[in-house]
Amino acid sequence: VAKMAKLVEEAQNNKSKTQRYVDECAKYYTPGVCVVAACLAGIPAAMRVHDMEKWYHLALVVLVSACPCALILSTPVAAFCALSKAATSGLLVKGAEYLEILSTVKVICFDKTGTITKGEFSVSSFHPLIDNQKLLY
């Protein structure tokens, strides 16, 4: 049990490609937005523009509307929730990157009776190749 808990913890610490991309963009995006806002407030002040309240308001609007907080916070939270749900369902996923890869999978084939199943055979569904009315005759 301790080994499984350690694997789950390691999986949650591994960042996915999307998480790394968002973190990398945030390194440049956030300071860039701050520079733009500072210029919007600072340049008119240096030029002694009379209506500074308008420029301060515009700088504040840029800061609020360009804030990437939702994206920066939601990416790791979504990955953490997915890994936690998988772990509570009995699935061990090595990291969020593997969940992203899993989203591109089209077909999954299993061939380990007794290993990944209970070993009890049952018909889960039946799809006839001909119409149901013809089966009655």
Q: What is the pLDDT of residues 49-92, one digit of tens each?
A: 888 888 888 888 888 788 766 666 677 778 888 888 888 888 87
How many structural domains is the chain composed of? 1
- Please report whether residue 122 resides in a domain: no
- Please report whether residue 47 resides in a domain: yes
- Please report whether residue 113 resides in a domain: no
- Please report whether residue 125 resides in a domain: no
Looking at residues 96-107, what average pLDDT do you find? Answer: 83
Residue tagged active-site, from 23, 51, 111, 131: 111
Q: What is residue 10's predicted lDDT score, i.e. its pLDDT?
A: 72
How far out from the chain centre does Cα 24 lie? 15
Residue 111 annotated among the catalytic residues of the structure: yes
Q: Above 70 in pLDDT, residue 8?
A: no
pTM score: 0.42
Q: Above 90 in pLDDT, residue 103?
A: no
Give the integer Cα–Cα distance in Å for 40 and 45: 9
User: What type of residue sits at position 65?
Assistant: S
- Please report whether residue 85 resides in a domain: yes
Question: By residue range, what is the domain housing residue 16?
Answer: 2-107
User: Among candidates 30, 41, 39, 40, which has minimal Cα distance to 66?
Assistant: 30
Q: What is residue 39's predicted lDDT score, i.e. its pLDDT?
A: 93
